[in-house]
Chains A and B, each alone.
Chain A
Amino acid sequence: EVQLVQSGAEVKKPGESLRISCKGSGYDFTIFWISWVRQMPGKGLEWLGRIDPSDSYTTYSPSFQGRVTISTDNSISTAYLQWSSLKASDTAIYYCARRGDAHLDYWGQGTPVTVSS
């Protein structure tokens, strides 16, 4: 059974750094891209970017380029989304999903991130 299991909720202060994770199981992690999707409180879905675990090639939405970094550790079948300096506007639920196009066939359960002073 394909599963994407994400790390737990985070509460951070503005300016702090953060890395959240997404562990894949039940399939060959290196074959499928991983995408990250944001959902701000009460809002819709926004695609942040994607990574090809086989070669770590990444692409980002223009809206998020330079704001976040996507990476993987294939030895533990885990993808990461990280920020170097959080803002209050980063408060949202972040989902990882399998595949790098609009056909997002499996989703993680989501990681709530709260940024508040």
Chain B
Amino acid sequence: QSVLAQPPSASGTPGQRVTISCSGSRFNIGSHEVYWYQQLPGTAPILLIYNDNQRPSGVPDRFSGSRSGASASLAISGLQSEDEADYFCAAWDASLSGVVFGGGTKLTVL
């Protein structure tokens, strides 16, 4: 049982916009920035979004993040086949004094 809750799966067709939610508590998302990671099959995770809504250099602007209260979301617009991957949210948790992750959302491009 992960501290942050994500839907296990999401899907969309090429060109569509999809969103992935991440729900936490006042100890994590409610008081700390949210980060999103993309994990392509068989590879290490990479940082996709930092500080709720910032993109590292090289990440397409099709990816965007937002946070409100104790929830956050990742939006992917103009969905492409290469976006098929697992997506994880993460935040610092003050009650655990550590990093907590969501269980991950497997995105399928139909």
Contact = CB atoms under 8 A, between A and B. Distances in A.
A35 B101 CA distance: 13
A60 B2 CA distance: 17
A9 interface: no
Contact of B102 (A44, A101, A107): A44
Nearest to B50: A103
B101 to A, nearest CB: 4
Contacts of B47: 103-106
Q: Which interface class (under 10, 10 to 19, 20 to 34, 35 or more) fits A?
A: 20 to 34
Given A101-B92, A102-B33, A105-B56, A47 B98 contact: yes
Nearest to B44: A107
Name the residue in B35, B44, B92, B102 with the highest tally of chain A Cβ atoms < 10 Å from its Cβ: B44
Interface in A85-108: 95, 101-108
Contacts of A37: 45
Given A102-B33, A104-B37, A46 B44 contact: no
Nearest to B91: A102
A24 interface: no
B93 to A, nearest CB: 9
B88 A44 contact: yes
Interface of A: 35, 37, 44-47, 49, 59-62, 95, 101-110
19 contacts: A35-B99, A44-B88, A45-B37, A45-B88, A45-B104, A46-B101, A47-B98, A61-B96, A61-B98, A62-B96, A102-B91, A102-B92, A103-B50, A104-B35, A104-B37, A105-B56, A107-B44, A107-B45, A110-B44
Interface of B: 2, 32-35, 37, 44-47, 50-51, 56, 88, 90-92, 96-104
